[in-house]
Amino acid sequence: MSKLQLRGVRKAYGATVALRRGDMKLDRGEVHVLIGSNGSGKSTLCKIVAGSVRPDGGEVLIDGRSVEFSGPNDARKAGIGIFYQELSLAAHRTVAENICLAALPVSGGVFVDRAKVAETARRYADLFAEVAGTGFSLDATVESLRADQRQLVEIMKTLATEAPILIFDEPTSALDRAQVDCFFGILRRLKEEGRSIIFISHRMDEIFAIGDRVTVMRDGETIETDRIADTDHDAIIRRMVGEKGELAPPAEAANDAASGGGQVILKVEGFSGPGFSNIGFEVTEGEIVGFGGLHGQGQSAVLRALFGATPGNSGSVVLDGRSMSAARPRAAIREGFAYISGDRGRDGAIAGRPILENVTPIHFLKNRLALARPSHLRNKALPALEALKTKYAGLASSINSLSGGNQQKVIIARWLIDRPAVLLLDDPTKGIDLQTKTDLFALIRELAAEGMAIVLYSSEDAELLNNADRILVFNSGAIARELTGSDRTRYNLYHAAYEAA
Amino acid sequence: MTSVDQASRPASSGLATLVRQPLVVALALIAALLFLGETLSPGFASGEQILRLLIVAALMGIVAAGQNLVIIGGREGIDLSVGGVVSLSAIVAGNVMAGENGGILPAVAACIATGALFGFFNGFGVTFLRIPPLVMTLGMLGVLQGLLVVIRQGIPSGRAAPALSDFVTQSFLFSLPGIIWLWAAIGVFMAFLLRRTVFGYRIFAIGSNEHAAYMAGVPVKLMRISLFVLSGVFAAIAGICLLGYSGSSFANVGEQYMLPSIIAVVFGGTPLSGGKGGYTGTMAGAVLLVILQSILTTINIDDSGRQMVFGATLLVLMLFYGRGRSMRG
């Protein structure tokens, strides 16, 4: 009998199906790896097991008995400890308190037993004493720690639950080699004690180093479970890619022209900054260069840095033959960059303001205008909105009155009044409808055909494969591989993305 | 929401829309309060009396203009130091002009420079030192109050030049005092600034989404400092006018303008959360507050009582409009 079993578990958020069918068995004393591309349902599955997400259907069994959790506390009592990908630490509290947060030792019914907290925390912190690095102590507040140290605290916190079932959702993303080795040593000991561990990682080498069995997920379904010993990299990647063959080859004519060595518009060399290092690439006139790979491997960071939105970058950026380094977006815009973020709420929408005010800021800046003449602005705004088939009542209506897709169109339109030389697209279709996506990519191809240089990062592989002339696959902040011509396949994309960095 | 919903909205509402317009509400309230005042004390709503109310409203409204800009600019924008700047400006003006008409221009220049300087300090603290505006300007108010005490011990309080007093209190054009014209001009200036200049568009942009504005190339820090400088300048102008109104300056003369300047803004339909609003409503709000103040005086409620009523008014306004919503819905 399995320690934990999932039978046909499913979960949808509105029209979006996050988990279509989750089936898996977790044995005692095993490390069970879950692998799948962005949005394949791994995290949803883990959250269901941990009780923080309620499934729409299906069954969760522990020791053969069906369980239903009304919340994370229920799951904890049933013996489940989870490491969340988005860390769940109290930033202003000490390491010791965070480690014991799940079950603070209490004396006399109300008072936190400080001695006991220190003692418990010490036990788990000592496991990582060799690799925790400078500045790490039980009394340090979490906010004062480095990213890798915070991740260690989250690991210690998970271990401190002493739960028979432990779930680790990408626990190693910030850790260095020695820290990972130390962590794996601990996992092996836990395994020998008979604990059951679910482990999510995108690093192929780690999966083979620690896993006993692997379950591949694709499009919200658990596809197949194999013993690690019986499988290899290629087999796993083939499962992740699935049967859906390659998509229609990208726009033919335009690409040939682009790859035919047009004039170089943007040339980046040895570009390093927070989250990426030694990035180098060129974009020629009319070319669409795609950034691929797993989420958060430095793609957004590079785009934001090029746009001057994040400080601390070094390297050479040459635009139209002019060497430049934008210290802030204002300078980058003047130099000819445009940046469109998928995070409209944070980076794009001037919330609650009329559409006209949302379309015009770039025009003001580029033309150094002081006066806002409504008739002039209307004449500029209308064609830009029209180019994207934007649906709106009037220029005076608030941007909040529009659907997400139309809001994004308004934000894109602001860049179309005075055309930039380089368009940086940072996952621009996040959370928008299919029609808008279609309109948007039609426009992007049109802009490329007119000679604009375009860099497209998308978390949806199909968007990259369908639109990019070349794809640079990012892995751990560096470009792992360049896919051109007929190499632009889903298989190659995954292969490069999941290779050890 | 589809475009059809949007298009049909204005047509369906009529009276409901009218009632929701802050300006309409304010004007109706002004009429009601005047009527109430006249009932309590015949002669309250006489032409002469209304003119006197308008002069006081202009003083308050000029202070509120700067307050309005800072509040629209968002990030918890507020300027609590305006009262101190008004007082300091009145003293600087009184001493520079020392009762001579020839001293008016240098006095105006000195006051505007003073207001701009303290506004700059506020803006610098808020943008570069990342001190919340409430704390920064409250601290600045403390500094100014201390400064006023020191000044008062060292130098005479100063007197208004006759021309300045005439400008504020006597008929200037079409039997209206000059300060009313000045206020009207400021009203036109503010409307133009907010609706027809890039600067105005950018104030709303940083007020509704500072980061998005930054990503769209708006010089956010420079903008925010400018708003505090403008607030200091408007307070300084009000200080000069106040000197003309009272003839001589005395310490803390401006303190009574801090709270009303905020209430007038909020009443006029500019939410404290920023990114929305305008000055026309604020002007109506200032008039309304002055009438309310006058009624309270008429029924023998002293200064402390008036302060309590004002404070309560602000709280009630907050309750009605909420911090995140404007009256415009």
- pLDDT tens string A70-127: 888 888 888 898 888 777 788 888 888 888 887 777 766 777 777 888 888 888 888 8
Of B5, B198, B219, the CB nearest to A330: B219
Matching fold, domains A4-241 and A251-336+420-501: yes
End-to-end CA distance of chain A: 38
The verdict on A177 touching B (C-beta cutoff 8 Å) is no
Task: Select the highest-mean-pLDDT range: A36-40, A54-58, B318-322.
Answer: A54-58
User: Domain residues of chain B, as ranges?
Assistant: 48-321
* pLDDT category of residue B14 using cuts at 50, 70 and 90: low
- Residue A389 neighbours by CB distance under 10 Å: 14
* pLDDT category of residue B118 using cuts at 50, 70 and 90: very high
Tens digits of per-residue pLDDT, A265-311?
999 999 998 889 999 999 999 999 999 888 778 899 999 999 999 88
Candidate CATH numbers 3.30.70.270, 1.10.10.1800, 3.10.20.70, 3.40.50.300; the one for domain A251-336+420-501 = 3.40.50.300
CB contact under 8 A, B213 and A350: yes
* pLDDT category of residue B329 using cuts at 50, 70 and 90: very low
Give residue B119's pLDDT: 96
- Which among A402, A420, A392 is positioned nearest to A344, based on CA atoms? A402
Of B5, B204, B212, the CB nearest to A349: B212
Answer for the pair A239, A216: CB distance below 8 angstroms, yes or no: yes
In the CATH scheme, what architecture does the domain A4-241 have?
3-Layer(aba) Sandwich (3.40)
- Which among A158, A236, A162 is positioned nearest to A203, based on CA atoms? A236
d(CA A406, CA A391): 6
pLDDT at A246 exceeding the cut of 60: no
Average pLDDT over residues A485-491: 82
pLDDT at B186 exceeding the cut of 90: yes
The tokens for A434 are 């299919």
Alpha helices in A314-359 (DSSP H): 329-335, 355-359
- Which among A447, A438, A444 is positioned nearest to A456, based on CA atoms? A444
Question: Whose structure tokens read 């039997």?
Answer: B175
* pLDDT category of residue B4 using cuts at 50, 70 and 90: very low
- Tell me, what amino acid is at A76? R
Average pLDDT over residues A247-265: 56
Q: Give chain B positions within 8 Å (CB) of A334.
A: 217
CA A93, distance to chain mean position in Å, is: 27
d(CA A8, CA A57): 7
Give residue A340's pLDDT: 93
The verdict on B195 touching A (C-beta cutoff 8 Å) is yes
CATH top class, domain B48-321 = mainly alpha
Average pLDDT over residues A10-25: 85
pLDDT at B175 exceeding the cut of 50: yes
The verdict on B329 touching A (C-beta cutoff 8 Å) is no
Smallest Cα distance from A308 to chain B, Å = 9
pLDDT at B157 exceeding the cut of 70: no
pLDDT at B176 exceeding the cut of 50: yes
pLDDT at B22 exceeding the cut of 80: no
Give residue B167's pLDDT: 86
d(CA B133, CA B122): 8
Nearest chain A alpha carbon to B211: A347
Query: Which of helix, strand or coil describes residue A211?
Result: coil
CB contact under 8 A, A361 and B204: no
d(CA A265, CA A284): 5
CB contact under 8 A, A329 and B276: no
Total number of residues shown for chain A: 501
The tokens for B192 are 């133009």
Nearest chain A alpha carbon to B209: A350
Query: Which of helix, strand or coil describes residue B192?
Result: helix
Q: Give chain A positions within 8 Å (CB) of B216.
A: 329, 333, 350, 361-362, 365, 414
Average model confidence (pLDDT) across chain A? 85
Question: Whose structure tokens read 């709420």?
Answer: A345
Nearest chain B alpha carbon to A359: B216
CB contact under 8 A, B215 and A365: no
Alpha helices in A78-203 (DSSP H): 95-99, 114-127, 147-160, 177-192
Interface of A with B in 357-396 (CB under 8 A): 357, 360-362, 364-365, 369-374, 391-394
User: Domain residues of chain A, as ranges?
Assistant: 4-241, 251-336+420-501, 344-419
Give residue B240's pLDDT: 92
Of A334, A352, A371, the CB nearest to B208: A352
Higher pLDDT among residues B178 and A261, named by residue: B178
CB contact under 8 A, B215 and A370: no
